[in-house]
């Protein structure tokens, strides 16, 4: 059975000796645009790549504003700060995510609270979220419109919810937004993995106050390293630009800064690669969805299950996933496939099991625990 | 008099209508190396630009280890954290600096304390530092070897000193190191502006536990945006790499991270530009020092004073500085020169005058106040 899977993956990537999980593809104007940057010694506005990359992102996602930054972690940290998250607060996220989600929350001086995922979406479970909020929070004594619910056990405010669209599959974001609104908590969507993924036709990252995207080395489109904040709120976007450019107050020559800022804006050369990649994002997504379709076909009626996009969604199928019946099978497969030059990897270790997050509050994590033992990512890169 | 200065600057940059303060120069292998990155789709180790950039930096500065990161602010934040700086501590720096120095200190959850500069170096004054420490600190009650002195007025430990080599001119670093050592405080040098600057033949940034460099858009060499941590301490360097790559524990496929890390490593494409720039850094520094020599010659016996490298040092003359007899003259000059297409700018607003740092502790800042009113940066970019 394992041999059959390995051989099938080889047919998908016939030219590769070692099949990677996801390699970037550069078949557009990347070189031309980068060379433009060098020729204009960066300082010229020829091309204005950062602004163009932001515009293209807004057009593609339907978000009114996009702000390009150094990476997805920085994007999430800044978005949380702008959502009003303060040192000592708590932020709800899911235990099944890449560590950057929890790190960005920590970088705000905030503690993550881990709420379970759904088995089908692998993203935050609306039911589990509502259950946790109902049993673990109380209303704030301050009855200001901005007052957040208080965690009963720690007495700290819950100031944001960060659902993540795992491997590109949209989570139940509509229900999450409704619950968050009932509890007066802002939602910042970690869409680092879901550029090109839609829930009921609306792009992930555009449901909450803001969303973030990532262009790290192995993402659907890559700039080598980069991120984006997307939002429909104009002031939020302006503040994001300000805070990520050392909070400098515009002046012809004076150096005045009005808050503790960051050096987090994306460089022109990074944006130049992003612009070139966005020009053919449709082609990349179509290619990835076709790969997913071939996997789906192959795994039909097999012991190993291929994970399909949740209902009501269109996924970018960033990293394709298969599900084993137990951890033992999973480990045997990982071992055999990696030995045979096919790079597969298990889903991440749950956040609450990592040393630095093991004392964080958690809800019931049955689904995340169940998935942790069974899910494996299989090669999903662009196929020539 | 102003007209004469403006005309002289025009002779230095004859091809420019608008003379910028500092433009990057790309006359080496920048394009070739970037194109290599794109051709190899980043993932190949052809070129291994990050490692090469680090090696070249170690060779050039004489530091045993170099760790490439996203920018100088991130470099300083990480270096401080690795020096043992903890939330709630205090870190001494100078009020006359670019805001990134104070921001990086704040990003560690730490408060800056501002100690005066010297008039000649424009960097931290050893005498003022010693005076402040003597009158404002007491020994820790814990008599561990790692115990830091305690700020008498706040009861917080002073856990690091961050001198800055202003505009490339080395400060009195040898004396600062001695004083810091007497008080058992680590020194992290902010050498963001002083790549290519030496104190008694030793590169700036290599005197304390670690130093940091910056390659932002207008620096002596630029990568569009980037930074470097340099140190002679092997474990410090290893920890810097670990902490800036999400603290991932090496494993073939498992995703385990053992502390709250950052996504702060430099991308390959950024490093590729850095490698190309480092190949002709000697040429760039020689060019800049020749510009400084021409300024020196021109300003001899004039009312406006040209600031020369301090004794015992060799400066990269990153941004050349002139000194006016008072603020009124300075403002008149700024106005006239900027109107005439010559980009000049005053030295930074002192950190303790910015909104977010106005409640920080300060020593006597006579020299910084005096310089703030009088110093202007004049065009200093590479001349063809």
In this prediction the ipTM stands at 0.94
pLDDT band at A254 (very low <50, low <70, confident <90, very high): confident
Q: Is A30 on the interface with B (CB under 8 A)?
A: yes
CB spacing of A253 vs B106 below 8 angstroms = no
Asked whether residue B354 is assigned to any structural domain, the reply reads yes
Nearest CB partner across the interface for B41, out of A25, A253, A258: A25
pLDDT at residue A147 greater than cutoff 90: no
State the Cα–Cα distance between residues B43 and A261, nearest whole angstrom.
32
Task: Give the number of residues written for chain A.
Answer: 384
Q: Give the rounded distance of the alpha carbon of B109 from its chain centre.
A: 21
Mutate to test the interface with B, among A255, A337, A344 (most CBs of B within 10 A): A255
Question: In chain A, what is the straight-line distance between the N-terminal and C-terminal CA atoms, in Å?
Answer: 27
Place of tokens 């019931």: A364
CB spacing of A99 vs B262 below 8 angstroms = no
CA distance A29 to chain B (A): 11
For residues B271 and B367, membership in a common domain is answered with no
For residues B65 and B93, membership in a common domain is answered with yes
For residues A80 and A150, membership in a common domain is answered with yes
Tell me the sheet residues that pair with B376. Answer: B322, B346
pTM for the full predicted model: 0.96
The CATH number of the domain where B334 resides is what?
3.90.1150.10
Domain boundary among A225, A256, A278: A278
| Contact list, B37 vs chain A (CB under 8 Å) | 224
Asked whether residue B172 is assigned to any structural domain, the reply reads yes
Tens of pLDDT along chain B (384 residues) come to: 899 999 999 999 998 889 999 989 999 999 999 999 998 876 555 558 999 999 999 999 999 999 999 999 999 999 999 999 999 999 999 999 999 999 999 999 999 999 999 999 999 999 999 999 999 999 988 777 778 999 999 999 999 999 999 999 999 999 999 999 999 999 999 999 999 999 999 999 999 999 999 999 889 999 989 999 999 999 999 999 999 999 999 887 788 999 999 999 999 999 999 999 999 999 999 999 999 999 999 999 999 999 999 999 999 999 999 999 999 999 999 999 999 999 999 999 999 999 999 999 898 999 999 999 999 999 999 999
In total, how many domains does chain A have? 2
Nearest CB partner across the interface for B35, out of A31, A72, A334: A31
Q: Is A376 on the interface with B (CB under 8 A)?
A: no
Name the DSSP class of A347. P
CB spacing of A257 vs B25 below 8 angstroms = no
Q: Are A99 and A355 in contact (CB under 8 A)?
A: no
pLDDT at B286: 98
For residues B38 and B160, membership in a common domain is answered with yes
Query: How do strand A210-214 and strand A186-190 relate by DSSP bridges?
Result: parallel
For residues A130 and A11, membership in a common domain is answered with no
For residues A181 and A326, membership in a common domain is answered with no
| Contact list, A263 vs chain B (CB under 8 Å) | 71-74, 100, 103, 216, 225
For residues B254 and B294, membership in a common domain is answered with no
For residues B124 and B269, membership in a common domain is answered with yes
State the Cα–Cα distance between residues A115 and A163, nearest whole angstrom.
9
Q: Are A210 and A66 in contact (CB under 8 A)?
A: no
State the Cα–Cα distance between residues A378 and A382, nearest whole angstrom.
13
pLDDT band at A378 (very low <50, low <70, confident <90, very high): very high
Question: In chain B, what is the straight-line distance between the N-terminal and C-terminal CA atoms, in Å?
Answer: 27
Asked whether residue B170 is assigned to any structural domain, the reply reads yes
In angstroms, the Cα distances linking A321 to A295, A330, A344, B121, B146 are: 10, 12, 10, 60, 49
Q: Give the rounded distance of the alpha carbon of B20 from its chain centre.
A: 20
Asked whether residue B101 is assigned to any structural domain, the reply reads yes
Mutate to test the interface with A, among B26, B41, B190 (most CBs of A within 10 A): B41
For residues B233 and B336, membership in a common domain is answered with no
Asked whether residue B56 is assigned to any structural domain, the reply reads yes
pLDDT at A43: 57
The CATH number of the domain where B108 resides is what?
3.40.640.10
For B205-228, what is each residue's pLDDT tens digit?
Answer: 999 999 999 999 889 999 989 999
Which sign, positive or negative, has the C-alpha torsion A92, A98, A103, A104? negative
For residues A137 and A286, membership in a common domain is answered with no
pLDDT at B272: 95
Q: Is A15 on the interface with B (CB under 8 A)?
A: no
Which long-range contacts does B310-314 make (Cβ < 8 Å, 24+ apart)? B310/B120, B310/B121, B310/B169, B310/B170, B310/B171, B310/B172, B312/B199, B312/B200, B313/B169, B313/B170, B313/B197, B313/B198, B313/B199, B313/B200, B314/B197, B314/B198, B314/B201
Percent of chain B residues past pLDDT 70, beyond the cut = 98
In angstroms, the Cα distances linking A223 to A72, A355, B50 are: 12, 31, 16
Tell me the sheet residues that pair with A142. Answer: none
Boundaries of domain holding A329: 2-24+281-378
For residues A326 and A257, membership in a common domain is answered with no
- For the record, the structure tokens of A352 come out as 């609450």
Interface of A with B in 288-317 (CB under 8 A): none
Asked whether residue A140 is assigned to any structural domain, the reply reads yes
For residues A150 and A267, membership in a common domain is answered with yes
pLDDT band at A157 (very low <50, low <70, confident <90, very high): very high
Q: Which residues of A41-77 are buried (b: 16+ CB within 10 A; e: fewer)?
A: bbeeeebebbebbbebbbebbebebbbbbbbbbbbbb
- The DSSP element (H or E) to which B181 belongs, if any, is helix B173-182
Asked whether residue A383 is assigned to any structural domain, the reply reads no
For A63-103, what is each residue's pLDDT tens digit?
Answer: 999 999 999 999 999 999 999 999 999 999 999 999 999 99
Q: Is B334 on the interface with A (CB under 8 A)?
A: yes
Domain boundary among A230, A257, A278: A278
Tell me the sheet residues that pair with A334. Answer: none
Domain boundary among A278, A294, A323: A278
Question: Which residues does A95 contact at the CB level (< 8 Å), separation at least 6?
Answer: A114, A115, A116, A117, A350, A351, A352, A362, A365, A368
Mutate to test the interface with B, among A99, A111, A218, A357 (most CBs of B within 10 A): A99
Mean pLDDT of A259-287: 96
Asked whether residue A191 is assigned to any structural domain, the reply reads yes
């Amino acid at each position: 059975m394992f041999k059959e899977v390995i051989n099938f993956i080889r047919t998908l990537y016939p030219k590769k000796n070692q099949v990677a999980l996801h390699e970037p593809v550069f078949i557009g104007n990347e070189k031309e645009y980068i060379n433009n940057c060098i020729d204009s010694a960066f300082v010229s506005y020829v091309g204005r790549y950062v602004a163009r990359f932001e515009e293209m992102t807004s057009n593609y996602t339907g978000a009114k504003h996009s702000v390009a930054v150094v990476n997805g972690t920085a994007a999430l940290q800044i978005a949380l700060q702008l959502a009003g998250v303060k040192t000592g607060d708590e932020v709800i996220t899911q235990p099944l995510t890449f560590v950057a989600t929890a790190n960005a929350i920590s970088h705000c001086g905030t503690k993550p609270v881990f709420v379970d995922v759904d088995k089908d979406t692998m993203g935050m479970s609306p039911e589990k979220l509502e259950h946790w909020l109902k049993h673990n929070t109380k209303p704030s004594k301050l009855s200001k419109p901005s007052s957040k619910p208080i965690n009963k056990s720690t007495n700290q405010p819950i100031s944001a919810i960060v659902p993540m669209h795992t491997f590109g599959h949209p989570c139940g974001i509509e229900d999450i937004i409704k619950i968050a609104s009932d509890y007066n908590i802002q939602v910042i969507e970690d869409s680092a993995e879901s550029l090109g993924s839609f829930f009921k036709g609306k792009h992930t990252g555009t449901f909450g106050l803001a969303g973030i995207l990532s262009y790290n080395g192995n993402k659907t489109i890559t700039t080598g390293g980069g991120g984006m904040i997307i939002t429909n709120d104009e002031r939020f976007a302006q503040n994001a630009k300000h805070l990520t450019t050392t909070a400098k107050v515009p002046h012809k020559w004076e150096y005045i800064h009005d808050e503790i800022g960051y050096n987090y804006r994306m460089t022109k050369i990074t944006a130049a690669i992003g612009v070139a990649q966005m020009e053919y994002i449709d082609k990349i997504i179509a290619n990835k969805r076709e790969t997913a379709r071939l996997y789906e076909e192959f795994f039909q009626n097999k012991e190993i299950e291929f994970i399909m996009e949740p209902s009501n969604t269109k996924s970018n199928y960033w990293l394709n996933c298969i599900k084993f019946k137990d951890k033992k099978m999973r480990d045997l497969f990982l071992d055999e496939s990696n030995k045979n030059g096919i790079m597969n990897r298990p889903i991440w270790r749950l956040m609450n099991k990592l040393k630095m997050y093991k004392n964080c509050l958690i809800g019931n994590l049955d689904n995340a625990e169940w998935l942790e033992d069974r899910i494996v990512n299989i090669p999903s890169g662009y196929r020539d």
